[in-house]
A and B are shown apart, each in its own frame.
Chain A
Amino acid sequence: MTGWREFDQNPVSHSAAHHLTTIQFLLDEFGYARVSDVARHLGITRGSVSVTLKGLRQRGLVVEDEHKHLGLSEEGIRIARGIHIKRILVQTMLRDVLGIPDDLAEQDACKIEHLVSDYTAEAISKFLQKLSGIESAESISKLFDDLKKEMAAAEISFPSEEAQKFSDRLEQRLTEEEDQ
């Protein structure tokens, strides 16, 4: 069991994942993101944000203009979007398949969103899509067989367009349920 060591080599830490997704959120929501906005959104100090962003800038994931407005590079956007989609997929699977209460599913999804591999995320996406079309108990074993075959043949480039669209639908559903 040496898989735990891979946590340290993960492309983005838990904290970095939150910084990237927060910048993306602020840009989508308000059109700009500054260190103070990220700090307020995450409930941490500006000092912490500045130090974390230094590392993300050095890695070419975050950019800053002369007015100290933050942005994401193409790779930063890809990673932020991927993490966001993984969170929705994992949350949905925990809630809809395992029956975990929504709050707990959201918390646990947040803990592991940045650790889930692209391959696993794609498999979860396919699984959830197929599951929504299940009508009888017999077809469940067929679902698993199909999924194994598809994943064995898949060339993963996460998030795929299919996963992205599916995640958008799931997110809309989660938002609608929260509003009710």
Chain B
Amino acid sequence: MNQGISREDAIERLNGLLAEEMEASMRYLHLSMMVQGLDRLIVKKVLHENLEETLEHSEQVAEKILQLGGCPAPKIHVEFAQQRYSGREALQEALLFEQAALDGYRDLLERVDGGGDVILEEFARQQVSVESEHVAELKMLLEE
């Protein structure tokens, strides 16, 4: 039986997820600038769509932190490689940080599942579902 999660722990974990989402949006933007090759326009469109979604997710996570009485304070650390990416390389990199975000939401769900905070549990479950779709979509594009 899950004993639930303290408010402070929940806020800290959500801030970690907020950092994942905000970094992902920056990475999508950077990848969209650096992608080259014949499929550039198609991949750029995919990257921009995903960028929009990560921004939406960031706002949703921030909203959840505020609802818990916390303050959105993500610790951001992004380094950009000085390189051009093929369409495939850009999507492979996107898969890495989407998978990381999915793992983060899964951890949160595991922590709150059955612990009594139904709203946070539902939010985590929904995010796992959405991120799983993102990961699956990227894997399909990469034919993995």
Contacts and interface: CB of A to CB of B under 8 A. Distances in A.
Contacts, number: 46
Q: Give the bracket for the number of chain A residues in contact with chain B.
A: 10 to 19
A45 interface: yes
Given A36-B107, A51-B27, A54-B93, A45 B100 contact: yes
Contact of B81 (A35, A44, A48, A55): A55
B104 interface: yes
Interface majority SS (helix, strand, loop, mixed), chain B: helix
A47 B79 contact: no
Contact of B97 (A15, A50, A55): A50
Main secondary structure of the interface of A (DSSP, over half): helix
A49 B77 CA distance: 10
A51 B104 contact: no
Nearest to A54: B96
Interface in A122-137: none
B70 interface: no
Interface string A42-72: 0111111111101100000000000000000
A55 to B, nearest CB: 7
Contact of A47 (B75, B81, B100, B107): B100
B93 A48 contact: no
Interface of A: 13, 15, 35-36, 43-52, 54-55
